[in-house]
Amino acid sequence: MLEAAAAKGDGMAAFTLGNLHLTGRGVPVNKPEAARWFRTGGEAGHLDAQYTMGYLLQQGEGVTKDETEASLWYRKAAERDHVPAQAALALLFAEGRGVAPDGEAALKYYLLAAERGNVTAMMGAARVSAEGKLVPENTDLALKWYKAAAEQGVPEAEMALGAAYADGKGVAVNAEEASRWYRRAAERGQAAAQFASGNFLAGGRGGPQYNVEAVDWYRKAATANHADALYALGLHYANGRGVIQSYPEAARYYRLAAEQGHAGAFLNLRRLHAESKASLDPADEVKAYRVIAAQGNPDAQFLLGEMLLNGRGLEKNEKDGAWAIRLAAEQGHLEAQVRLGELTAADRGETANEAESLKWYRKAAEQGHVEAARITARLYTEGKGASADPVEAARWARQAAQTGSAEAQLVYALACLEGKGVKQDVREAARWLRLAADQGHAPAQARLGQLLFEGLGVPQDFLQAHLWLNLAASAGDAAAAQQREKAAAKRTREQIVQAQEMARNWRPVDE
C-alpha cells in the first residue's frame, strides 16, 4: 500500500518507507533501499525526505558519499524553512564542504535556524560571529547567541560566556559573572570549564580564594585527561596548595599532563627528577617524552634519544636514538649537537663520518660549548673531517681556552709557542701555560717549567722552574723529572728544599 502510494508521488509514503528500511522496523535494515525511497520522497517535495537524503549523502550511508549533492538536497529543504536542513547547510558553507566556503551564506542559514530555536545553529552563529574569519567579527551577535544557547543548557555556550566576562570580550570584565558561567558549565561536566573554575578559585577571582575546592575542580577536569588541569594538580602537589605537599604525586600529574602534550609539565617533571625530589619509572618517562618529542620539542627529542641509545625504559635502538638526537641538534640543541658529534665519530646509530662529526662539534662550539671548541681545535689540528687548518685550530683552541679549559689553554699556548695558526709569541704562550698550570694540568706545568728554566718568554727562574717541573714529575711526567734534576743542579741545597716545600704546599687555583 505504501509502495503504491509512493510510486504515485506520495512524498510522505516514500519518506515512511525510507524510515522503515533505515531503522529496520518491520523489514530488515537496508540503507540503499532507504536511500532510494528518501530520494523518491525528496523529488516529490517532502522536506524531511530531502533533509534525510542530504544527510545520507553527506555521511555516505546507503549511497556513495557526495557532499556536493548533499548540499543540493539540504538547500531544497532549507529554502522552504526546514530548520535542521538550514543548520546542516550552514555548516557546509562554513567548512567549505561540497560548496565553496562562504561565510555570509553560513551565517545566513545559521541565523534562520537559530531564530527558530535550533541550538546547533545558535552555537554556529555565535562561533562564526566571534571568530571573525568567515565574516567580520561581531561580538554583540556572538554574545546574543551564546546567551541563547546557554539558556538552553549548552555547556560550550556557558563556557564561552564565562570567557567573555573573564576577558572583557564584548562586555565589561566581571569576575563574578565569569565564575558563575564557568561553574554552570563545569557542573554539566565540561572539562575546560571545570579547569577554569579551579583557576578562579585558586586565584580568588570572583570570590574568596579556595585552594581545596580548586583542587576538586581540577580533579574533575583531570578525569577527562585535561592537560592543563593535570598540570595544575602537579603544581598544587609540588607547592602544597590545597593538598598535602607530595613531590611523587606532583611528578605523577606532571607525567600525565606531559603525555597529553603539555610542555610545561614536561619541564617540571625533568626538574623534579634532576633535583631528586621524585623517582620516575623509565617506561613512564619514555611515554611522556615521546609525546613532547613528537611536538618538535628539542629537549624531549634529546632525552628520548639518550634513552633509546642506552636502552633505558625501552628496547635499546641506537639508530632511532641517533635519529631523535639529530632532530634536536638540527633545532640548535647544544647537548644534542655535541652528542651527535660523538655518535658520528664513533659509528653509533650513525655511519662514521669525520666531516659530519666536525660539523656538529663546530656548531656546538659556535654556541660556546667549551669541550666542543676544544675537540674542534683538535680535529682541525689533526686534519680529521677537513684539511688540517692551523688557523682554525688556533681559533677554536683560544675560544675554549678563554672559558677556562686547561687542555685548550695548553693547545693554544703551544700554537703561540710554535707560531702555528697565530703569530709566534713566546710571552703569550707562557701566559696561557701558567693559566693551565695553575689548574693542575701536568703537561702545561712541565712546559712552563721548561720555559722558566730556559728563560723563554719569562724571566729565567730556576726556583719556579723546579716547582713546576716537580709538580709535573709527581703526576708521572718522566721528561719533567729529568728536567727538574737539571734545574736542581743550578740551585743550592736550601733552595731545593724551599722549592720542594713550595710544591708540597701548592694547590690548584680553583681550590
What are the DSSP E strand ranges found in 343-425? none
- The answer to the question of residue 460 being in a domain is yes
- The answer to the question of residue 164 being in a domain is no
Q: Which amino acid is at 222?
A: A
pLDDT at 10 over 90: no
CB 503 within 8 A of CB 474: yes
Distances 129 to 108, 159, 173 between C-alpha atoms, Å: 11, 16, 20
pLDDT at 511 over 60: no
Residue 499 confidence (pLDDT): 73
- The answer to the question of residue 343 being in a domain is no
* Average pLDDT score over residue span 166-186: 92
Residue 338 confidence (pLDDT): 95
pLDDT at 494 over 90: no
In tens, the pLDDT along 200-223 reads 999 888 777 889 999 999 999 999
Q: Which amino acid is at 122?
A: M
Residue 313 confidence (pLDDT): 83
* Average pLDDT score over residue span 267-287: 86
In tens, the pLDDT along 280-295 reads 788 888 888 899 999 9
The per-type count for the chain, helices as H runs and strands as E runs, is 29, 0
Residue 75 confidence (pLDDT): 96
pLDDT at 235 over 90: yes
Residue 39 confidence (pLDDT): 94
Q: Could you give the CA distance from residue 59 to residue 448 in angstroms, rounded to a whole number? A: 84
Mean pLDDT value across the chain: 91
Q: Could you give the CA distance from residue 455 to residue 444 in angstroms, rounded to a whole number? A: 16
- The answer to the question of residue 372 being in a domain is no
- The answer to the question of residue 139 being in a domain is no
| Weakest mean pLDDT among 1-5, 40-44, 169-173, 389-393 | 1-5
* Average pLDDT score over residue span 162-172: 92
In tens, the pLDDT along 340-386 reads 999 998 877 777 889 999 999 999 999 999 999 999 999 999 999 99
Boundaries of domain holding 435:
425-511
Number of folded domains that form the chain: 1
- The answer to the question of residue 260 being in a domain is no
Q: Could you give the CA distance from residue 371 to residue 334 in angstroms, rounded to a whole number? A: 12
Lookup: cell for 58: 553527506
Q: How many CB atoms lie within 10 A of CB 151?
A: 12
Q: Could you give the CA distance from residue 288 to residue 262 in angstroms, rounded to a whole number? A: 9
Q: Could you give the CA distance from residue 251 to residue 230 in angstroms, rounded to a whole number? A: 10
Q: How many CB atoms lie within 10 A of CB 244?
A: 7
Q: Could you give the CA distance from residue 47 to residue 67 in angstroms, rounded to a whole number? A: 18
Q: Which residue has the higher pLDDT, 274 or 129?
A: 129
CB 2 within 8 A of CB 36: no
* Average pLDDT score over residue span 251-275: 91
Distances 200 to 159, 264, 420 between C-alpha atoms, Å: 13, 20, 67
pLDDT at 155 over 50: yes
pLDDT at 8 over 90: no
- The answer to the question of residue 465 being in a domain is yes
CB 37 within 8 A of CB 48: no
Lookup: cell for 422: 697565530
pLDDT at 416 over 90: yes
- The answer to the question of residue 497 being in a domain is yes
Helix axes 334-346, 370-382, angle to 10 degrees: 30
338 Ramachandran zone, left/alpha/beta (phi>0; psi -120 to 50): alpha
pLDDT at 83 over 70: yes
Q: Could you give the CA distance from residue 426 to residue 422 in angstroms, rounded to a whole number? A: 11
Lookup: cell for 443: 703537561
Task: From 52, 115, 123, select the one nearest 91 (Cα to Cα).
Answer: 123
pLDDT at 510 over 70: no
Query: In the chain, what percentage of residues exceed pLDDT 90?
Result: 71
